[in-house]
Amino acid sequence: EAGVVQSPRYKIIEKKQPVAFWCNPISGHNTLYWYLQNLGQGPELLIRYENEEAVDDSQLPKDRFSAERLKGVDSTLKIQPAELGDSAVYLCASSETGAVGELFFGEGSRLTVL
């Protein structure tokens, strides 16, 4: 069974440019998370979806970040415009709704803003 798939794995952009990251969760997992991981730090939640509904987006900087999960499957995280401080790894994870168990993480998308 395929795991959580993210793309692109690496992205280098100039500041003020837009960037988008895509995530395909494990089949059947209705809960999807986007986490931000700065170098040498633990992951921090940006947004959590239950199906297509964003149920926890309090940590998402809404002035420049946006996310969507159309049809409750794939998700896209967008940054516009990117700032130097956005350089980090963006992790997507999924889990079974209502189940107490593990979050399955993708390999992440590493963003470098120059």
86 closest CA partner among 23, 14, 27: 14
Q: Is residue 103 at the binding interface for another protein, with CB under 8 A as the rule?
A: yes
Rounded to a whole number of angstroms, the minimum distance from the CB of residue 18 to another protein is 24
Q: Is residue 100 at the binding interface for another protein, with CB under 8 A as the rule?
A: yes
75 vs 95, which CB is nearer to another protein?
95
CA angle (87 as vertex; 110, 65 as ends), nearest 5: 95
Q: Give 90: exposed, middle or buried? Use CB within 10 Å, 0-12, 13-18, 19+.
A: buried
Q: Is residue 40 at the binding interface for another protein, with CB under 8 A as the rule?
A: yes
Contacts of 29 (CB under 8 A, 6+ apart): 94, 95, 96, 97, 104
Q: Is residue 31 at the binding interface for another protein, with CB under 8 A as the rule?
A: yes
Q: Is residue 24 at the binding interface for another protein, with CB under 8 A as the rule?
A: no
Interacting residue ranges for another protein, rule: CB under 8 A = 4, 31, 33, 40-45, 48, 56, 91, 93, 95, 98, 100-103, 105-108
